[in-house]
Amino acid sequence: MDAAQQLIATAGPILGAKGVITEPAEIAPWLSDWRGRVHGASPAILAPASTDEVAAIVRLAAQHRVPLVPQGGNTGMAAGATPPPDGSAILLSLRRMHRIRSIDAAGRIAVAEAGVVLETLHHAANEIGMRFPLTLGARGSCTIGGLTSTNAGGTQVLKFGTMRALIAGVEAVLPDGSIHSGLSGLKKDNRGYSLDQLLIGAEGTLGVVTAVALRLVPAVASRAVAWTGVASPADALALLRFLEHRTTSVEGFELVPRDSLELVLRHIPGTRAPLDDAQPWHVLIEATTVDPAADIAAELQRCLADALGQKLIADAVIAANEAQAEAFWRIRDSISEAERVDGQTLAHDISVPVADMPRFMTEAAREVERAFPGVIASGFGHLGDGNIHFHVRAADHAAPDWYEREGAAITRMVDNLVTAAGGSISAEHGIGQLKREEFARLAPPGRIHALLAIKHALDPLGIMNPGKLVP
């Protein structure tokens, strides 16, 4: 019996039948990344139901020197939750830990276990008149543990920040099997290095997140959602700045190029273009208020009429009701899915300083399209955060192996341009497996040195998610 089999056998009595999955057909759906590009192998999925069970499994893994790959909803975009292909590691699913331990409107904190699905937390917060304000397209399946471990962003970062800003504390099992309990929810705690902050964005390489204390805000009383047509990313950013001088209500501001809209209309059933005339670029705007007496739609309409008068936008429509608002958001949230169906898209989740993003997008697209004739380069997403998903799509006649043949060269070019602009090659999706080489190539040596020192100090046996993030 090899070490992995010994671990699986000893895990059985600790986790019970529900917590040990060895049937290949049940394991298979969890062995590939969301885009279906990276494939791994694992002899089992271990699925603990409590923090103590996680700690017991981590201790066993250390004892047997068997690596663990933590996994939540497996919606990550960097293949961080995909095990290595040689079957040497075991998947550790947190999905059975799906309890909201407490939720408190007065304290404005929810303590959710790692396997709680984001949408479940949204509903729970709403029931007590509160809101967890981070959201993204995968909210129906991504988990609190995954969101924490990737320091996820999403569409409301403009106002509320990334997970890092919304986490009041983390409970985790460290690689030696000890439990770090940081769930006190203290607003102020300056006892030196923050282990909580180290674990946020660690992609499972420093321990297993088991529960998280999350900050809540008052529930929205009403929202207004608009779809506008603009001439360029520069006009889109000018529109955001224009709105910011007139209202504090804007919390979502998402850029959508015509190319992405057309892809969604082609591949996602039931979607339709919000504006009659084709526009080169669009911005989806969400404005919200917590004041039941406020007329947020009228406020946004006034602002957009002014913007139209100043020729900042070419056209705009405000959703007439919630169903229409959801339909607008569905377009934005379906872009990644439409690209997945389409197949030949190379994704780059990048950031540069916000003010420089319009120039970067235009010049980078031009350079990539010139260097790789026939491809379409474009960006969509969180313009106001200086974060764009800069995607390069194959030409219509491209060979089926375009991604394998051209992908690395295109990515190197994009990453070089991003680095030259003082940006980051991973704005919100993490490094995982997909960006590890590029991270090692482009990150400043001091950053890599510190990262390695932290990794080796906390996980000297290298049992936590090997082959991810750490060069």
Q: Which of 19, 73, 185, 379 binds ligand FAD (CB under 6 A)?
A: 73
Q: Which of 31, 34, 88, 368 binds ligand FAD (CB under 6 A)?
A: 34
Cβ pair 108, 119 in contact under 8 A? no
Q: Which of 344, 439, 465, 467 binds ligand FAD (CB under 6 A)?
A: 465
Q: Which of 80, 182, 252, 358 binds ligand FAD (CB under 6 A)?
A: 80
106 φ, ψ (degrees, to nearest 5): -65, -45
Q: Is 347 in the site for ligand FAD (CB under 6 A)?
A: no
Q: Which of 4, 40, 68, 71 binds ligand FAD (CB under 6 A)?
A: 71
Kindly give, in sequence order, each residue whose CB lies less than 8 Å from that of residue 279, ignoring residues fewer than 6 positions away: 229, 230, 258, 314, 315
- Distance from C-alpha of 206 to C-alpha of 216, rounded to nearest angstrom: 26
Closest CA to 19 of 43, 38, 46, 39: 46
Q: Which is nearer to ligand FAD, 116 or 224 (CB)?
A: 116
Residue with tokens 């964005």: 201
DSSP state of 39: B
Site for ligand FAD in 94-123 (CB under 6 A): 94, 114
Q: How far is the CB of 336 from ligand FAD (least distance, A)?
A: 4
Q: Which is nearer to ligand FAD, 62 or 209 (CB)?
A: 209
Residue nearest to ligand FAD as judged by C-beta position: 146
Kindly give, in sequence order, each residue whose CB lies less than 8 Å from that of residue 46, ignoring residues fewer than 6 positions away: 8, 11, 15, 19, 20, 21, 57, 68, 90, 91, 92, 93
- Rg for the chain (alpha carbons), in Å? 23
Q: Which of 43, 70, 229, 384 binds ligand FAD (CB under 6 A)?
A: 70
Q: How far is the CB of 397 from ligand FAD (least distance, A)?
A: 28
- Using DSSP, state whether 267 is helix, strand or coil: helix
Q: How far is the CB of 96 from ligand FAD (least distance, A)?
A: 11
39 φ, ψ (degrees, to nearest 5): -125, 135
- Distance from C-alpha of 431 to C-alpha of 414, rounded to nearest angstrom: 15
Closest CA to 467 of 7, 35, 42: 42
Q: How far is the CB of 119 from ligand FAD (least distance, A)?
A: 12
Q: Is 429 in the site for ligand FAD (CB under 6 A)?
A: yes
Cβ pair 160, 150 in contact under 8 A? no
Q: How far is the CB of 29 from ligand FAD (least distance, A)?
A: 12
Residue with tokens 């017991």: 56
Q: Which is nearer to ligand FAD, 81 or 451 (CB)?
A: 81
Q: Which is nearer to ligand FAD, 166 or 297 (CB)?
A: 166
Sign of CA dihedral 366, 370, 371, 375: positive
Rounded to 5°, angle at Cα 309 from 304 and 315: 55
Q: Which of 42, 279, 288, 336 binds ligand FAD (CB under 6 A)?
A: 336
Question: Quick one: 242 exposed, middle or buried, by C-beta within 10 A (0-12, 13-18, 19+)?
Answer: middle
Q: How far is the CB of 73 from ligand FAD (least distance, A)?
A: 3
Strand-strand pairing, 208-215 and 109-113: antiparallel
Q: Which of 88, 149, 228, 344 binds ligand FAD (CB under 6 A)?
A: 149
Q: Which is nearer to ligand FAD, 34 or 403 (CB)?
A: 34
Cβ pair 72, 116 in contact under 8 A? no
Q: How far is the CB of 124 from ligand FAD (least distance, A)?
A: 17
* Piece in contact with ligand FAD (CB under 6 A), picked from 4-12, 74-82, 270-278, 415-423: 74-82
- Distance from C-alpha of 402 to C-alpha of 344, rounded to nearest angstrom: 7
Q: Which is nearer to ligand FAD, 53 or 428 (CB)?
A: 428
Q: Which is nearer to ligand FAD, 77 or 264 (CB)?
A: 77
Under the phi-then-psi rule, with left for phi > 0, alpha for psi from -120 to 50, and beta for the rest, what region is 432? left
* Piece in contact with ligand FAD (CB under 6 A), picked from 5-13, 44-52, 133-141, 365-373: 133-141
* Piece in contact with ligand FAD (CB under 6 A), picked from 142-150, 230-238, 243-251, 264-272: 142-150
Site for ligand FAD in 195-234 (CB under 6 A): 203-204, 208-209
Count CB atoms within 10 A of the CB of residue 69. 24
Q: Which is nearer to ligand FAD, 114 or 361 (CB)?
A: 114
Q: Is 76 in the site for ligand FAD (CB under 6 A)?
A: yes
Residues in the site for ligand FAD, rule: CB under 6 A?
A: 34, 69-77, 80-81, 94, 114, 136-138, 142-143, 145-147, 149-150, 152-154, 203-204, 208-209, 336-337, 428-429, 432, 465, 468
